[in-house]
């Protein structure tokens, strides 16, 4: 009996050991059926395996589908948990210990209470009938009058557009007078296509030389008089909606204008949109009037204001922000920060360098609006409404976050000069170069041909692709070998080639230069500029600052994770995601 029992226990142990090494794969089919704790922390914070799968499913991890690698899973989850814990920690911050934030909190929350009170008890049931709206529209034309304007598009034809086109050689060979005539002919040619073989928008995309409007069907938008060069006004404002002009010339080139819509000055047509706009104006004016009446009635309930006369004559900017200036009805305290926003207005209005005691009392009276509204909001229990409580918590959290995340940055860090200098010396080859340029070239038999190839390169065609087609050489391999000069210094090339590159910037191509029996156009692919320690120091310091920032963030994460005792409990789990396109 004992022997059989031992055999049974051994088999059971083998089954358990074998089973322990097997991973549970959580995927689309079974994630809702498995409910294991994947992440756990103090304060009841948990993430279930099902929730973790949903989080991963909304990410862009493993875009082609498959099991999420452990290192990617942990890195992604770290960012989620860190953000959640910082949010929880923000509620634990005592804002009263941070005067500026405490003032900010009370101001924001008070403003929201007051706004909600106005919305609920002033604006909510505000109505206006159609006759009020009509009377407001015709009785206040200054609010609704429109300036004369056109909604327009344009096609612009200019000299630089022709000189940089595929036919640039033809236009560059022309005299100034011939080029002017060619520009005009081209503008009228484009004009002849509109409405026949081309719609205006497609003609603008294909032919306009305006880099901004051309790709967007030539769209300019609404334009009033006096914006563009003459004769724009006389042309544009003579067109009806749906018409386009003949080409006309101004200092920018030849223009063809299309008017989508013409709007005369004066009151617009009383459409539904205009009616709705007027309704908003009417309700706003009525709300403002009622709001002023409510505030005045509330201020009339104020029975007693005790002023701090000893400080009222002082400079508001030199006072501590928490200095009390007045006490209202023995309850509300008006402090210096409450009236700072009025100071500049009063100084400007009365042309003084500092406001007097009487001026500050008037400023306190202005600030009373905020206090009486807040008192009314509390009296009407606005602070107990669910969305108000949620907003209050959010304001607290947002400000608390500033304190929590202070530990994630080290604003005062400065890189020691000795550390930067040592790095420079150890990596000097990254900052001091023996070569000056990285060059490519195309070799042609005559200068005109080389000029043509250069123009092609300037339109954006890849330089080495042009070399395959136009450079001398028997085979493509030979052409590419000739074209790729590589890294060179001044000593590696002829003085003539060096001079030809003098004004060429990085990425640009030189004009044709004759070297031996052929003409060359040379592209300055890269410019190597050696840097002294003084110049390189800024880059090196940035490098060390980034490293320092990463270390600070790493310590911040560890501190927060230790504080909440975070545990990842998914060693026996793997998460398999569908391809990104199927999520």
| Tokens 């998460």, located at residue | 575
Give the DSSP letter of residue 406. Answer: G
How many other C-beta atoms are found inside a 10 Å radius of the C-beta of residue 31? 20
Give the DSSP letter of residue 519. Answer: E
Among the residues of 247-356, which ranges form H helices? 272-299, 309-312, 336-350
Pull the structure tokens for residue 105.
């909190």
CA proximity to 399, closest of 43, 114, 106, 112: 106
d(CA 302, CA 364): 13
Q: Which CATH number is 146-263 given? A: 3.10.50.40
3-state DSSP assignment of residue 493: coil
d(CA 89, CA 344): 38
Pull the structure tokens for residue 342.
């009025």
Is residue 518 within 8 A of residue 443, CB to CB? The reply is yes
pLDDT tens for the chain, residues 1 to 583: 454 544 444 344 334 434 455 789 999 999 999 989 999 999 999 999 999 999 999 999 999 999 999 999 999 999 999 999 999 999 999 999 998 999 999 999 999 999 999 999 888 889 999 999 999 999 999 999 999 999 999 999 999 999 988 888 889 989 999 999 999 999 999 999 998 888 999 999 999 999 999 999 999 999 999 999 999 999 999 999 999 999 999 999 999 999 999 999 999 999 999 999 999 999 999 999 999 999 999 999 999 999 999 999 999 999 998 899 999 999 999 999 999 999 999 999 999 999 999 999 999 999 999 999 999 999 999 999 999 999 999 999 999 999 999 999 998 999 999 999 999 999 998 898 888 899 999 999 988 889 999 999 998 999 999 999 999 999 999 999 999 999 999 889 999 998 889 889 999 999 999 998 899 999 999 999 889 999 999 999 999 999 999 999 999 999 999 999 999 999 999 999 999 999 8
d(CA 295, CA 110): 15
d(CA 199, CA 129): 46
CATH fold of 433-527 reads Chitinase A; domain 3 (3.10.50)
d(CA 373, CA 378): 9
To the nearest 10°, report the CA torsion of 481, 486, 491, 493.
40
Contacts of 388 by beta carbon, 8 Å cutoff, 6+ apart: 112, 113, 116, 382
Among the residues of 351-385, which ranges form H helices? 357-379
β-pair type (24-26, 573-577): parallel
Is residue 117 within 8 A of residue 275, CB to CB? The reply is no
d(CA 526, CA 530): 13
Is residue 440 within 8 A of residue 526, CB to CB? The reply is no
Distances (CA, A) of 475 to 64, 425, 467, 481, 517: 41, 45, 11, 10, 20
- Shared fold status for 146-263 and 433-527: yes
pLDDT at 4: 52
* Beta bridge pairs of residue 415: none
Contacts of 290 by beta carbon, 8 Å cutoff, 6+ apart: 122, 126
| Crossing angle (nearest 10°) for helices 176-193 and 200-207 | 150
Give the residue extent of every domain in the chain: 146-263, 433-527
Among the residues of 459-573, which ranges form H helices? 463-470, 476-483, 495-500, 533-563
d(CA 344, CA 346): 5
Contacts of 574 by beta carbon, 8 Å cutoff, 6+ apart: 23, 24, 25, 26, 67, 68
How many other C-beta atoms are found inside a 10 Å radius of the C-beta of residue 517? 7
Say what the pTM is.
0.64
Distances (CA, A) of 258 to 206, 208, 244: 16, 13, 4
pLDDT at 318: 94
């Amino acid at each position: 009996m004992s022997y059989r029992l031992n055999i049974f226990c051994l088999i059971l142990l083998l089954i358990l050991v074998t089973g322990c090494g097997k991973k549970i794969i959580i995927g689309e089919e079974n994630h809702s059926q498995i409910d294991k704790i994947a992440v756990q922390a103090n304060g009841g914070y948990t993430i279930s395996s099902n929730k973790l799968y949903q989080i991963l499913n909304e990410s862009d991890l493993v875009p082609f589908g498959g099991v999420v690698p452990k290192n990617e899973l942990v890195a992604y989850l770290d960012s989620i948990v860190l953000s959640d814990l910082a949010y929880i920690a923000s509620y634990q911050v005592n804002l009263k210990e941070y005067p500026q934030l405490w003032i900010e909190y009370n101001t924001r929350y008070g403003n929201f209470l007051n706004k909600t009170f106005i919305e609920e008890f002033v604006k909510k049931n505000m109505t206006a009938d159609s006759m009020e709206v009509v009377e407001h529209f015709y009785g206040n034309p200054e609010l609704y009058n429109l300036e004369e304007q056109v909604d327009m598009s344009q096609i612009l034809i200019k000299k630089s557009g022709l000189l940089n086109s595929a036919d640039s050689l033809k236009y560059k060979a022309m005299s100034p007078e011939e080029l002017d005539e060619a520009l005009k002919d081209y503008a009228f040619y484009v004009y002849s296509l509109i409405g026949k073989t081309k719609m205006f928008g497609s003609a603008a995309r294909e032919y306009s030389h305006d880099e901004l409007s051309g790709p967007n069907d030539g769209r300019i938008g609404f334009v009033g008089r006096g914006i563009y060069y003459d004769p724009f006004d006389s042309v544009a404002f003579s067109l009806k909606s749906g018409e386009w002009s003949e080409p006309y010339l101004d200092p920018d080139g030849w223009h063809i204008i299309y008017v989508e819509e013409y709007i005369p000055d004066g009151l617009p047509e009383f459409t539904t949109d205009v009616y709705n706009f007027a309704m908003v104006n009417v309700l706003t004016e009525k709300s403002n009037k009622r709001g002023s009446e409510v505030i005045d009635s509330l201020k009339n309930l104020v029975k007693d204001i005790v002023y701090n006369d000893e400080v009222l004559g002082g400079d508001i900017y030199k006072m501590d922000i928490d200095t009390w200036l007045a006490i209202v009805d023995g309850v509300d305290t008006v402090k210096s920060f409450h009236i700072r926003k009025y100071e500049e207005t009063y100084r400007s209005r009365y042309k003084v360098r500092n406001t007097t005691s009487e001026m500050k009392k008037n400023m306190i009276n202005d600030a009373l609006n905020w206090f009486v509204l807040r008192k009314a909001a509390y009296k009407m229990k606005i602070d107990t409404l669910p969305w108000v409580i949620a907003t209050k918590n959010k304001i607290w959290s947002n400000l608390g976050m500033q304190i929590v995340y202070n530990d994630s940055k080290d604003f005062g860090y400065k890189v020691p000069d000795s550390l930067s200098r040592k790095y420079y010396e150890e990596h000097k080859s990254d900052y001091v170069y023996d070569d000056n340029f990285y060059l490519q070239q195309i070799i042609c038999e005559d200068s005109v041909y080389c000029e043509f190839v250069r123009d092609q390169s300037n339109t954006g065609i890849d330089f080495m692709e042009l070399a395959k087609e136009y450079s001398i050489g028997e085979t493509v391999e030979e052409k590419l070998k000739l074209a790729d000069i590589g890294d060179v210094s001044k000593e590696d090339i002829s003085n003539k080639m060096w001079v030809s590159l003098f004004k060429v910037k990085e990425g640009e191509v030189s004009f044709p230069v004759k070297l031996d029996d052929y003409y060359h156009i040379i592209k300055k692919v890269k410019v190597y500029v050696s840097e002294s320690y003084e110049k390189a120091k800024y880059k090196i310091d940035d490098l060390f600052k980034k490293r320092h920032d990463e270390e600070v963030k790493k310590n911040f994460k560890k501190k927060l994770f230790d504080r909440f005792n975070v545990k990842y409990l998914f060693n026996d789990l793997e998460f398999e995601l569908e391809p990104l396109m199927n999520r």
